[in-house]
Amino acid sequence: MNRILSVGSAFPAFKKTAVVSLEKGKEFSDLSSESLFNNEKWTVMFWWPKDFTFVCPTEIAEFNKHYKDFKDRDTQLVGASTDTEFVHLAWRNNHDDLRGLRFPMLADTSKSLAEELGILSADDKTAYRVTYIVDPQGIIRWVSVNDMSVGRNVDEVLRVLDALQTDELCPCNWEKGQETIKL
């Protein structure tokens, strides 16, 4: 496995197909680093190992429940895996919790982006369960990696995003609205 791209690194340039809708003829769209970064918005990109599995839809549905919370923070939400856009579309069409997704499902079919990020498992070359918070300039500000069998905590992603957006020193367990550390 490559070394995981981490905090302070520029998010790699990419252009991939994403599932953006269930409406016939409008299901797919290109998504690129150029369209995500340098637009004064933050980005949260979260990766899951495989479509049609058990833990992954629970996380995707939870991110979707918090879609407005991310939007209120001027943050774009993008889900991603190494499955194809056609597998993503079939999964969305056939899973009750995924039909109403409000964010794109990126298809890294070539695995090139996952490889650049260093998040492919050594055994079967699927992406680890990784979350990136990327600032508006395309710089990675937070990375979290979970074992394949453990779902992430979306509230923690929001907490860290809030802390990063203060651009101040935030103590342990800090939550939005609490005092930051003043020097």
pLDDT, residue 2, reads: 66
pLDDT at 113: 96
Is 170 among the catalytic positions? no
**24-73 per-position pLDDT tens digit:** 778 899 999 999 997 899 999 999 998 888 888 889 999 999 999 999 99
Residue 73: C-alpha distances to residues 28, 49, 79, 147 (Å):
26, 27, 17, 28
Q: Which helix (H) or strand (E) holds 77?
A: strand 75-81
Report the C-alpha gap between 22 and 24 in whole angstroms: 6
Catalytic residue of the set 18, 19, 36, 56: 56
Residues 6 or more apart from 108 whose CB is under 8 A from it? 14, 16, 80, 81, 82, 114, 127
List the 105-107 sheet strands across, edge first.
Answer: 28-32, 15-19, 105-107, 75-81, 42-47, 129-134, 140-146
Fold designation for 15-152: Glutaredoxin (3.40.30)
pTM score = 0.93
Spatial contact of 5 and 140, defined as CB atoms under 8 Å apart:
yes
